[in-house]
Chains A and B, each alone.
Chain A
Amino acid sequence: MRKIRLIDTTLRDGMHAVSHQLTPSQMAGVAAGMDEAGVGTIELGHGDGLGGSSFQYGFSRATDREYLTAVGRVLKNAKMDVLLIPGIGTIEHLKEAMECGATTVRVATHVTEADVAEEHIHFAKRNGLETVGFLMMSHMASPEKIVEQAKKMESYGSDIIYVTDSAGAMVPDDVKARISAVKNVVAVPVGFHAHNNLGLAIGNTLAAIETGAEVVDGSVRGLGAGAGNAQLEVLVAVLAKMGYVTNVDLYKIMDVGEQLVEPLMHRPIVINNAALCIGYAGAYGSFLLHACRAGEKFHVDPRDILIEMGRRKTVGGQEDMIIDVAVELAEKKHQGGR
């Protein structure tokens, strides 16, 4: 029976869905439950990773150090994982995370910009961390381009290469083409991170597994940016039915969802109109709440903002562009009305 490694992102990607407002003790509670349920790797922190707390992305309730320290105290078996996006977080941030007990780091770049991660991956490997190269917004590049970037990530020393559907914009054939292309050229395991904006998070994850992915992401109750991630407890059930081994206890992870995660959620994770537009337009998942707020402030439809963000080929992290787009749309609307 084939074994699939699951990485949980409830406490990192899920932070987007709660505007980065979980407290360290809330995180510790959820993390302890997941550890007990058999989740092997738990990613946590601000939604935009180390150093993400900012005006641009929203300030988190607590600091990276406070979150990591609180979670580090309760974990018995699970690896503690952090996200590092070069340009936002730095090696100094990573050193701090290591002091707090992080053992795995995912170094994330836009799918065409792997070379900005070279220094960070080298540093992480030299210091004994498990290091994952994480290619975001993979729907924006062809399989050939992704292959070139995946090879770079591997050459820097990544232990795993991820194809990341940050916009939840891929359909299963897109996933298959990218995963199999990467799988063919790298020697290390390949991973996949899904978003559910088109209702395909579980389906795409299965497509990734069928074409060779050995590591996949999920989050409890789907808590994540946009319409959320592949719902972890659903993934555990589906993979069990298909005969894959995950080591996660289904009842226990369901209980984590109902008893620990649900009470912390600001709203149910559903595919609302704005989230659907993110998937349809291929815009970055965490633009969702920012576009809704800008839509309200400038009296424009958030769907129009998100579609325009996709049309302009914005990349992850360009939340500041939402204001520009909203202002321009508002001006256009105003002119049209006269």
Chain B
Amino acid sequence: MDKLRVAVLGPGNIGIDLMMKLLRSKKLDMVLLAGVDASSHGLKIAAEKGIATSLEGIHGILKSGDIDIVFDATGAKPHLIHAPLLKDAGIFAIDLTPAAVGPYIVPAVNLTECLRDHSIKNVNMITCGGQATVPIVRAISRVTRVEYAEIVATISSLSAGPGTRQNIDEFTETTSDALVKIGGAERGKAIIILNPADPPIMMRNTVYTKCDSGRIDEIKASVLQMAQTVQQYAPGYRLKVDPYADGERVVCVIEVEGAGDYLPKYSGNLDIITSAAVAVAERYAQYKLEEAKA
């Protein structure tokens, strides 16, 4: 055994982008894309690439019988149904919906901690804005107390699919919750803005933290180091404006350029969450393969 077998559930923008990334993985074997609608564009792309498809959704995956990891890119409500079925089947679930059945995971922050805990069989990827900003808040809170963290994610309208649009409250609520639980802030707030400009804008995130801004030098060093960690799995992640002190707050701006795997490069919002999900799966696979050898 040198690769784990993975399936993607949900052939939308996220599912397709995930599939493209998984096809390049040295530790993961992309074996199945499951949806429920025969007209899904994603299923056609999978078929063209010689990947098996199923129209039976979660049941297609369960029937397949030999899947190690499932990425759920459907929606919060479907995932609530999928989660117990995957658990019973002993399949590790990486949840890209706002359902948050399992703990939040951000590879640059709590990857090892989550994956070394063998009782955790389902992890949640928060939101695109969460993957982009939680590491920064964590980088600051490991230096000094963060009383309040606020993030503003601006994404191009073209890269916000119907799932994002119908769940915009869940985006803000889940992201602000993760700023506290994983970022280490005492209180959190998230704002999302859709911008329809053409050509489309790159995903942009402003992070404001209320903290001891007198320690800006240490904060800056910590944030720069964290950005490098994120870049290891999301190469298009960069600090557009380095952290600077502004009164009692510290401000910085992050831009995320996508890899252009499925949607164009402006869709960094898609890329940051799919890249993070693949990073989780690869580390999980690494541990499993090590265990198998031992």
Contact = CB atoms under 8 A, between A and B. Distances in A.
Contacts of B189: 51, 54
A323 B194 contact: no
Interface in A66-125: 86-88, 90-92, 110, 112-113, 115-116, 118-120
A144 B206 CA distance: 33
B152 A324 contact: no
B169 A91 contact: yes
Interface string A303-327: 0000000001111011011011001
B241 A327 contact: yes
Contacts of A259: none
Given A56-B206, A112-B157, A318 B193 contact: yes
A25 B232 CA distance: 53
Interface centre among B197, B210, B249 (most CB of A within 10 A): B197
Interface in B161-202: 162, 165-166, 168-169, 172-173, 189, 191-197
Interface string B91-132: 000000000000000000000000000000000000000000
Nearest to B205: A320
A112 B193 contact: no
Nearest to B208: A55
B240 interface: yes
A56 B192 CA distance: 11
B165 A116 contact: yes
Given A113-B194, A315-B195, A87 B157 contact: no
Contacts of A88: 172, 191
Contact of A90 (B169, B210, B251): B169
A56 B191 contact: yes
A317 B166 CA distance: 19
B166 A119 contact: yes
B193 A317 contact: yes
Nearest to B206: A320
A251 B173 CA distance: 46
Contacts, number: 83
B264 to A, nearest CB: 18
A116 B164 CA distance: 8
B154 interface: yes
Interface string B141-170: 000000000101010010000100110110
Q: Per DSSP, are chain B's interface residues mostly helix, strand or loop, or mixed?
A: strand
Nearest to A93: B169
Contacts of B168: 86-87, 116, 119
A91 B167 CA distance: 11
B195 A55 contact: no
Contact of B165 (A91, A92, A115, A318): A115
A189 B228 CA distance: 54
Nearest to B210: A55
A87 B166 contact: no
A119 B208 CA distance: 28
Given A54-B189, A313-B197, A315-B193, A320 B253 contact: yes
Nearest to A120: B169
B254 to A, nearest CB: 11
Contacts of B240: 324
Contacts of A110: 194-196
B71 to A, nearest CB: 25
Contacts of A315: 193-197
B157 A119 contact: no
A110 to B, nearest CB: 7
B197 A92 contact: no
Nearest to B209: A55
Nearest to A87: B192
Contacts of A119: 166, 168-169
A308 B195 CA distance: 16
Contacts of A321: 154, 204
Contact of A314 (B169, B194, B195, B210): B195
Contacts of B208: 55-56
Given A119-B169, A323-B206, A327-B241, 18 more contacts: A56-B208, A86-B169, A87-B168, A87-B172, A88-B172, A90-B169, A92-B169, A113-B157, A115-B165, A116-B165, A119-B166, A119-B168, A314-B195, A317-B193, A318-B195, A320-B206, A321-B204, A324-B253
12 contacts: A56-B150, A56-B191, A56-B208, A92-B169, A119-B166, A120-B169, A313-B197, A317-B152, A317-B191, A320-B152, A320-B253, A321-B154
